[in-house]
A and B are shown apart, each in its own frame.
Chain A
Amino acid sequence: MIALSGVWLTLGERPVLNDISFDVQAGQTKVILGASGSGKTTILRVILGLYRPDRGSIRVDGQEITELDERNLTLVRQDMAMVFQGAALFDSLTVRENVWYRLWEHSRLSDETIEQTVQESLQFVGLADTVDKMPAELSGGMRKRVGIARALASGAKVLLYDEPTGGLDPINACMISRLITKLSTKGITQVVVTHDLDAAYRVADRIVMIQRGRVIFDGTPDGLQQSDDPAIRGFIDPGSLTNGWETFANPPNPVD
């Protein structure tokens, strides 16, 4: 469904992605794991076409997107939706208008059908009663759930999540993880960027681990836990580190 091959990207003068290659099968939930600043969010942005890589290939549903212009990228994006780190709900619109935005802009569905989709999406995330509220009236967890409802209502085949559990209390984080797991049973392809190990193990079919813009692991959650690679062990069990903290905590190319 999504395949990255030899992707390189430099932002300003900072190399951010260095020869990134992995793929995501249709219906799979793939977690991109890594420390802050490792380039995880940038990977989502190149998949969505918000950044154009310097080199390499990105195929979405078989279509090479790196050479598409903005108008054709817009068509590709209609099959994808992203849940942003801060939810990125449109401040000037109500929850209802945020969730129906894409359908209202791009589909020819009737208002009744759109309203029904909005209600179903909000019910799915347990926020049917917030439909007339403004984003500013919602808590952080609620905003993220509305973000998921917006992505879900769009009918996209691929959902991309940027730190979906970041900054949330354990209960809200667990709730978001459950929603992602529930969506995977609907056959939606999902790419989840996180540094939250609990969430990663809970939702992942496969995990890619990134360090300083390079893939250092691509495998199953069990494979990650059993890995002897010092870089991986240092990330999943930081208490075991006696030195080399800077590799994880203070990477030289902070980009996220």
Chain B
Amino acid sequence: MLTGSFDLRSTLIGYVLVVQEFTALCGQAIAGLVRPPWYVRETIYQIDRIGVGSVFIVVLTGMFTGMVLALQGAVQLEPYGATIYVSRLISTSVVRELGPVLAALMIAGRVGSGIASEIASMKVTEQIDALRAEGTDPIQKLATTRLVACVLMIPVLTIITNGIAIFGGWLIARLYLGIDSYFYWTWAFEAIEQRDIVVGLVKPAVFGFIIAMVGCYAGFHTKGGTVGVGLSTTQSMVSSSILILASDFLLTKLFMAFP
């Protein structure tokens, strides 16, 4: 009993410590935005790597999501003779929820784990210490640049995902369900409100923050050589996926509170 209570205590302290370290890292990364040096070249490189490099996977994600939604939506709407409105269902569900969340989960897999493994490898090969020895703040150089790239590029990638998903839905609607293109696109755009666009852009920016910072945290806190690199990569992927889903719920609830 005594041992159990001690374990619980140390586990809780461990969680508090992780939150404290994570918050401190986020604070230092954000502080790096407002004080020189600004690593413009590094940031542009990360924007290219994270943004342009992820276009292919978000295009595939969007395409298949839109196509599946069209097929499933048509089955649900058919009994009511409302198959023609399938584009409303696709555009609202994609822009409000599926586009941002699915794109973020895919990018967490590709980019978040990449950030974690890269920084973790630098940690175990003493390159982080070498940066400090060279007079460079590793958080500003590695975390701030990736944070900027993710917060800027994930909304852009989400817009691409949304567009491709609605396009994928149109392919099925036109070729398989025989819905007229005019009706498809008219209802698709009419269903989207200005508020949906704002929500659909705020969410990916928050998800970008989560992906970058969780990846950096996992990387900077790597211990134990190459085994540690693998653990950090897994930890980054799992933690950022859970945080994306949890923050999606909280953001949706928050936006609903302000109609």
Give me the interface of A with B, judged by CB distance under 8 Å: 45, 48, 50, 70-71, 74-75, 77-78, 80-82, 84-86, 88-91, 101-102, 105-106, 154
User: Do B127 and A90 touch (CB < 8 A)?
Assistant: yes
- Binary contact track B109-148/A, C-beta < 8 Å → 1, others 0: 0000000000001100111011111111100000000000
Query: How far is A48 from B132 in the complex, measured between Cα atoms in Å?
Result: 9
Least distance between B137 CB and chain A CB atoms (Å): 7
- Identify 8 residue pairs between A and B in the complex whose beta-carbon atoms are under 8 Å apart, listed by A's number: A48-B132, A71-B137, A81-B133, A82-B130, A85-B126, A88-B130, A90-B131, A106-B135
A74 touches B127 (CB 8 A): no
Question: Interface on chain A toward B: helix, strand, loop, or mixed SS?
Answer: mixed
**B10 to A: closest C-beta gap in Å:** 13
Say yes or no for B178: interface residue by CB 8 A criterion. no
CB distance A50 to B132 under 8 Å? yes
Q: Which residue of B lies closest to A90 (CB)?
A: B127
Q: Which residue of B lies closest to A154 (CB)?
A: B134
Per a CB cutoff under 8 Å, which of A48, A70, A85, A86 touches B137?
A70
Partner of A74, one of B126, B129, B130, B137: B137
Count B-side interface residues using an 8 Å CB cutoff. 15
Looking at the assembled complex, report how far the CB atom of B149 sits from the nearest CB atom of chain A, in whole angstroms: 15
Q: Which residues of B contact A89 (CB under 8 A)?
A: 127, 130
Are B130 and A90 in contact (CB-based, < 8 A)?
Answer: yes
- Report yes or no: A77 in contact with B125, Cβ–Cβ below 8 A: no
Please indicate which of the listed interface residues B122, B126, B130 has the most CB atoms of chain A within 10 Å of its own CB.
Answer: B130
Pick the residue among B129, B135, B137 that contacts A88 (CB under 8 A). Answer: B129
Q: How far is the CA of A248 from the CA of B233 in the complex (A)?
A: 37
Known: A70-B137, A84-B130. 13 other contacts (CB 8 A): A74-B135, A77-B135, A78-B135, A81-B133, A84-B133, A85-B126, A86-B126, A88-B127, A88-B129, A88-B130, A91-B122, A105-B134, A154-B134
Nearest residue in B to A48 (C-beta to C-beta)?
A: B133
Q: Chain B residues in contact with chain A, CB under 8 A?
A: 37, 121-122, 125-127, 129-137
Q: With a CB–CB cut-off of 8 A, which chain B residues contact A90? A: 127, 130-131
- B42 CB to closest chain A CB (Å) equals 10
State whether A101 and B133 are in contact (beta carbons under 8 Å apart), knowing that A84-B126, A88-B126 are contacts in the complex.
no
Q: A106 to B132, alpha carbons, bound, how many Å?
A: 13
Whether the Cβ atoms of A80 and B133 lie closer than 8 Å is yes
In the complex, chain B residues whose CB is within 8 Å of the CB of A71: 137
